[in-house]
Amino acid sequence: MLHERGESCCLALQSLEMAILEYEEQQGVPGGEELIKEDTSFNQQREQQILKQKRKRMGIKTWRFEEAIKKRNVLKAKQRKWKQQKRGLQREILKREGDKNWNKKRKEKMKGKRCHKRKNQKIRNVETEQK
Protein backbone atom coordinates (compact mmCIF):
# COMPACT_ATOMS: atom_id res chain seq x y z
CA MET A 1 0.00 0.00 0.00
CA LEU A 2 2.81 2.36 0.83
CA HIS A 3 4.34 1.74 -2.54
CA GLU A 4 1.06 2.70 -4.26
CA ARG A 5 0.80 5.90 -2.20
CA GLY A 6 4.37 6.84 -3.10
CA GLU A 7 3.67 6.37 -6.80
CA SER A 8 0.50 8.44 -6.61
CA CYS A 9 2.39 11.26 -4.84
CA CYS A 10 5.13 11.19 -7.48
CA LEU A 11 2.57 11.39 -10.26
CA ALA A 12 0.84 14.33 -8.57
CA LEU A 13 4.14 16.20 -8.15
CA GLN A 14 5.14 15.60 -11.75
CA SER A 15 1.80 16.90 -13.00
CA LEU A 16 2.21 20.04 -10.84
CA GLU A 17 5.70 20.67 -12.20
CA MET A 18 4.45 20.31 -15.77
CA ALA A 19 1.60 22.75 -15.10
CA ILE A 20 4.04 25.31 -13.64
CA LEU A 21 6.39 25.03 -16.62
CA GLU A 22 3.49 25.47 -19.07
CA TYR A 23 2.31 28.56 -17.18
CA GLU A 24 5.80 30.10 -17.25
CA GLU A 25 6.10 29.48 -20.98
CA GLN A 26 2.76 31.18 -21.56
CA GLN A 27 3.87 34.22 -19.58
CA GLY A 28 7.02 34.49 -21.69
CA VAL A 29 9.33 35.22 -18.78
CA PRO A 30 11.82 32.48 -18.10
CA GLY A 31 11.62 31.74 -14.38
CA GLY A 32 15.07 30.23 -14.21
CA GLU A 33 16.79 33.52 -15.04
CA GLU A 34 14.87 35.40 -12.35
CA LEU A 35 15.85 32.84 -9.77
CA ILE A 36 19.47 33.03 -10.84
CA LYS A 37 19.46 36.85 -10.57
CA GLU A 38 17.83 36.73 -7.16
CA ASP A 39 20.26 34.09 -5.95
CA THR A 40 23.28 36.05 -7.16
CA SER A 41 22.11 39.31 -5.59
CA PHE A 42 21.32 37.53 -2.33
CA ASN A 43 24.69 35.79 -2.34
CA GLN A 44 26.51 39.08 -2.99
CA GLN A 45 24.73 40.79 -0.11
CA ARG A 46 25.48 37.87 2.15
CA GLU A 47 29.18 37.86 1.21
CA GLN A 48 29.45 41.60 1.85
CA GLN A 49 27.85 41.23 5.27
CA ILE A 50 30.20 38.40 6.16
CA LEU A 51 33.23 40.42 5.03
CA LYS A 52 32.15 43.43 7.09
CA GLN A 53 31.69 41.28 10.16
CA LYS A 54 35.05 39.57 9.67
CA ARG A 55 36.86 42.88 9.32
CA LYS A 56 35.44 44.22 12.57
CA ARG A 57 35.91 41.06 14.57
CA MET A 58 39.35 40.19 13.24
CA GLY A 59 40.72 43.57 14.24
CA ILE A 60 39.61 43.11 17.81
CA LYS A 61 40.73 39.49 17.94
CA THR A 62 44.20 40.22 16.62
CA TRP A 63 44.60 43.17 18.97
CA ARG A 64 43.66 41.06 21.97
CA PHE A 65 45.93 38.27 20.80
CA GLU A 66 48.91 40.59 20.37
CA GLU A 67 48.29 42.09 23.80
CA ALA A 68 48.15 38.62 25.34
CA ILE A 69 51.44 37.70 23.66
CA LYS A 70 53.13 40.82 25.04
CA LYS A 71 51.88 40.09 28.55
CA ARG A 72 53.05 36.51 28.30
CA ASN A 73 56.51 37.59 27.11
CA VAL A 74 56.85 40.04 30.00
CA LEU A 75 55.82 37.37 32.49
CA LYS A 76 58.30 34.90 31.07
CA ALA A 77 61.11 37.46 31.28
CA LYS A 78 60.28 38.13 34.94
CA GLN A 79 60.18 34.42 35.67
CA ARG A 80 63.60 33.98 34.08
CA LYS A 81 65.01 36.73 36.32
CA TRP A 82 63.52 35.11 39.41
CA LYS A 83 64.99 31.75 38.45
CA GLN A 84 68.41 33.29 37.87
CA GLN A 85 68.29 34.97 41.26
CA LYS A 86 67.31 31.72 42.93
CA ARG A 87 70.16 29.92 41.18
CA GLY A 88 72.59 32.58 42.31
CA LEU A 89 71.47 32.23 45.92
CA GLN A 90 71.72 28.46 45.72
CA ARG A 91 75.27 28.71 44.33
CA GLU A 92 76.29 31.03 47.16
CA ILE A 93 74.82 28.63 49.71
CA LEU A 94 76.75 25.75 48.17
CA LYS A 95 79.96 27.79 48.23
CA ARG A 96 79.35 28.69 51.87
CA GLU A 97 78.76 25.09 52.82
CA GLY A 98 81.92 24.06 51.01
CA ASP A 99 84.00 26.76 52.71
CA LYS A 100 83.97 26.53 56.51
CA ASN A 101 85.31 30.05 57.07
CA TRP A 102 82.96 31.91 54.71
CA ASN A 103 81.69 34.21 57.45
CA LYS A 104 85.20 35.42 58.35
CA LYS A 105 86.04 36.04 54.71
CA ARG A 106 82.86 38.04 54.29
CA LYS A 107 83.70 40.22 57.29
CA GLU A 108 87.21 40.82 55.95
CA LYS A 109 85.80 41.91 52.60
CA MET A 110 83.42 44.32 54.30
CA LYS A 111 86.27 45.77 56.37
CA GLY A 112 88.35 46.20 53.25
CA LYS A 113 85.58 48.12 51.53
CA ARG A 114 85.03 50.29 54.56
CA CYS A 115 88.73 50.99 54.91
CA HIS A 116 88.92 51.96 51.27
CA LYS A 117 86.04 54.40 51.73
CA ARG A 118 87.66 55.89 54.83
CA LYS A 119 90.94 56.41 53.00
CA ASN A 120 89.15 58.24 50.18
CA GLN A 121 87.35 60.45 52.70
CA LYS A 122 90.62 61.30 54.45
CA ILE A 123 92.25 62.21 51.15
CA ARG A 124 89.35 64.49 50.27
CA ASN A 125 89.43 66.14 53.68
CA VAL A 126 93.16 66.79 53.33
CA GLU A 127 92.67 68.31 49.87
CA THR A 128 89.92 70.62 51.09
CA GLU A 129 92.06 71.74 54.04
CA GLN A 130 94.99 72.56 51.77
CA LYS A 131 92.87 74.80 49.60
The pLDDT tens digits for 24-42 are 888 765 545 565 666 677 7
Cβ partners under 8 Å of residue 99, min gap 6: 105
Instruction: Measure the CA–CA gap between 120 and 117, rounded to whole angstroms.
Output: 5
Cβ partners under 8 Å of residue 111, min gap 6: none
The pLDDT tens digits for 85-124 are 888 887 777 776 666 666 777 777 777 666 556 666 666 7
Q: Reduce the DSSP state of residue 29 to 3 states and report it.
A: coil
Count CA atoms closer than 13 A to 32's CA, side-chain side: 2
Judge whether residue 61 has pLDDT over 60: no
Residue 99 φ/ψ, nearest 5 degrees: -105, 120
Amino acid of residue 110: M
The pLDDT tens digits for 64-90 are 677 778 888 999 999 999 888 888 887
Q: Please give the full DSSP string across 18-82, using - where no structure is assigned.
A: HHHHHHHHHHT--HHHHHHHHHHHHHHHHHHHHHHHHHHHHHHHHHHHHHHHHHHHHHHHHHHHH
